[in-house]
């Protein structure tokens, strides 16, 4: 399953990141993205208050999009603990992204056959991911962690590792990231700001 998700992300190249708590709005947004040529989306489990009800609503958005927009590859983002990973899986998310590398979250996902792209921004974190057998990683926050130069530097000691950079990526620099041979896709919220 993990390889299939990686393959699809490699094809889509750009993964819009959205924060939505209304099912109808989520479905409308997903259809709009498909009509504009996008076939993947990451629903962020983000809330200004950290309210569990917001995370549940985000999960309901994933469920609705999986049902009503089946062509869309749906992921859950900002998955910072096993509880959110479980919510993502139960909501029908096909993959999860986390901003950092939390061993407990990674272990839960591996145990429960959930594709995870944990966030890293240093060689030590890449090594830790490799210890878990994960060689496709989120690179976050990309721009302030060295951006394209850092990705090229990581390519030396880790030639088989691939990245999905997010954080500070927009229409002006996305192509620079996608030109890196160790980048399979980029993620960002700028896509949904262009309607």
Residues with catalytic function: 42, 138
Q: Three-state DSSP class for 195?
A: coil
User: Counting beta carbons within 10 angstroms of the beta carbon of residue 159, is it exposed (0 to 12), middle (13 to 18) or buried (19 or more)?
Assistant: exposed
Question: What kind and span of H or E run contains 15?
Answer: strand 14-18
65, 26 contact by CB (below 8 A) = yes
1, 115 contact by CB (below 8 A) = yes
Instruction: Specify which residues 163 forms β-bridges with.
Output: 137, 183
**How many Å apart are CA 5 and CA 188, to the nearest integer?**
18
């Amino acid at each position: 399953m993990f390889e299939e998700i990686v393959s699809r992300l490699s094809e889509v190249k750009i993964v819009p990141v959205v924060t939505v708590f209304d099912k109808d709005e989520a479905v409308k947004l997903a259809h709009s993205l498909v009509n504009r040529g996008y076939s993947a989306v990451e629903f962020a489990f983000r809330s200004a208050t950290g309210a569990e009800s917001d995370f549940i609503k985000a999960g309901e958005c994933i469920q609705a999009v999986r049902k009503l927009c089946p062509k869309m590859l749906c992921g859950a983002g900002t998955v910072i603990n096993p509880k959110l990973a479980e919510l993502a899986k139960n909501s029908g998310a096909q993959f999860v992204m986390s901003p950092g590398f939390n061993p407990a979250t990674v272990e839960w996902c591996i145990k429960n056959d959930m594709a995870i792209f944990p966030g890293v921004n240093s060689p030590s974190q890449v090594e830790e991911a490799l210890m878990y057998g994960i060689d496709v990683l989120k690179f976050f926050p990309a721009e302030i962690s060295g951006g394209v130069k850092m990705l090229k530097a990581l390519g030396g000691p880790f030639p088989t590792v691939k990245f999905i950079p997010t954080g500070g990526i927009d229409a002006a620099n996305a192509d620079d990231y996608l030109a890196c041979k160790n980048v399979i896709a980029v993620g960002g919220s700028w896509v949904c700001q262009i309607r």
